[in-house]
A and B are shown apart, each in its own frame.
Chain A
């Protein structure tokens, strides 16, 4: 019967298609595991800045992280080799979480080193990703932005711990930085997606840091704002 032969062809063609895709997904999964492993290692390294927020210690952690970012480049290159052209978004759910985490760690490292915001291009370059889809395996803008929001959360914690260990300047710096980030994010028209939800949490980070600044200022602990006079007690 004519239909039976056509059906069989549909069956074999589709089964072949699924099989190839599953094979590819398995290879991608393996590569992504490597990236996630590195992300966890770097996270552990960066947790040390909370324990010992002295600037030279912080920079040591940053250097350590930088070495690991270089390893990411190899893995992203291997990942890029697996993914066919124009199918980035067919599979990107598989590495999205890892990329967001790594973007966060890069921008955190950059801030701790320079006090500035790591640009989109800088983060892409650090991880070995292209800044534009047309140029190859790229950094997705929303992943970069999600990374920034994770960084803001981490900095809120860092501000707390800086004060605890006697560094009263840093929370001021952080407050200025995160407020600016907040102002920037407010310029975006976000849809009701996960980026929007994470952005909604940013205001709590902003508030927490402002409270820290208040605590520090009201007790005259800020060396920068004049003398440490005891008028406030």
Chain B
């Protein structure tokens, strides 16, 4: 190897350690020659890249589906809010439409999510579809409540998100795929439902449906009761939901109180105003979509 820079070949004479530079260059060259495409390390990392990409892509596809579920579920909830119980045929129309749209969400969006989850651990992708699932459960339970004054168990809802796969010609047996309805997700969705029920209660007063208010209040109280009884230490979201639920319940109970106390002295159509004025803080409106 050459020593130093060589007398006549270097520009400028101010660098005295030509040997050091040369050695450093050689050191770096050795390294970089060895980092080439056929290196084992590079090959394996290319494989890793494919694996990670596949997982991220699947996650993104599920996120997109989940967003669509959220949007449609919110719209279904708004649709249900337009029900005026005094008009029975309109009510039935609206409920039919809501049911139809819920079924669409189940058949299209959730089935697509179920397809993405085939052969995967669904918990790896739960964060991708949790929001959509909870919003859907809110819509579904709201719908069911309007029909029968009760809400379906998560096992019932799971049936709607389970899809039969026929046996294929290639010999695969008939099987089932599903989007899992985890009990915690279900409960959190039901927690959100209470907010809608409170809204409905207040709307009912405006429509003069005072019995509906009492019914809603009673149901809300039932839900709060079980939430207050859960031992959800370690599940952070439950604390917040229960706190909000308690406030929704209190508002609903105040509405019923006002109806009781002032219902006989104020004409029905003015009762709504009276109730609004009796409510303490104007609630933060989440805003409609």
Contacts and interface: CB of A to CB of B under 8 A. Distances in A.
Partners in one complex: yes
Given A13-B183, A89-B121, A190 B52 contact: yes
Contacts of B40: 117
Interface in B193-239: 219, 222-223, 225-226, 229-235
A7 B34 contact: no
Interface in A9-65: 9-11, 13-15, 17-19, 22, 25
Contact of A141 (B30, B48, B234): B48
Contacts of A3: 149-150, 219, 222
A231 B51 CA distance: 51
Contact of B225 (A7, A179, A183, A226): A7
Contacts of B20: 217-220, 231-232
A6 B183 contact: no
Interface stretch (B21-29, B94-102, B242-250): B21-29
B162 to A, nearest CB: 15
B30 A226 contact: no
Contacts of A4: 222
Given A6-B153, A187-B42, A232 B223 contact: no
Chain B interface size, under 10 / 10 to 19 / 20 to 34 / 35 or more? 35 or more
A231 B226 contact: no
A218 B16 CA distance: 12
B229 A15 contact: yes
A225 B23 contact: yes
Given A89-B124, A180-B34, A180-B41, 11 more contacts: A6-B151, A8-B226, A141-B48, A187-B49, A188-B52, A189-B52, A189-B56, A217-B27, A219-B20, A225-B26, A225-B27
* Chain A to chain B: the 6 pairs with minimum beta-carbon distance, closest first: A184-B45, A231-B19, A218-B20, A89-B123, A89-B124, A90-B123
Interface of A: 2-4, 6-11, 13-15, 17-19, 22, 25, 86-90, 117, 119-120, 133-134, 141-142, 145, 172, 175-176, 179-181, 183-185, 187-191, 213-214, 217-220, 222, 225-226, 229, 231-233
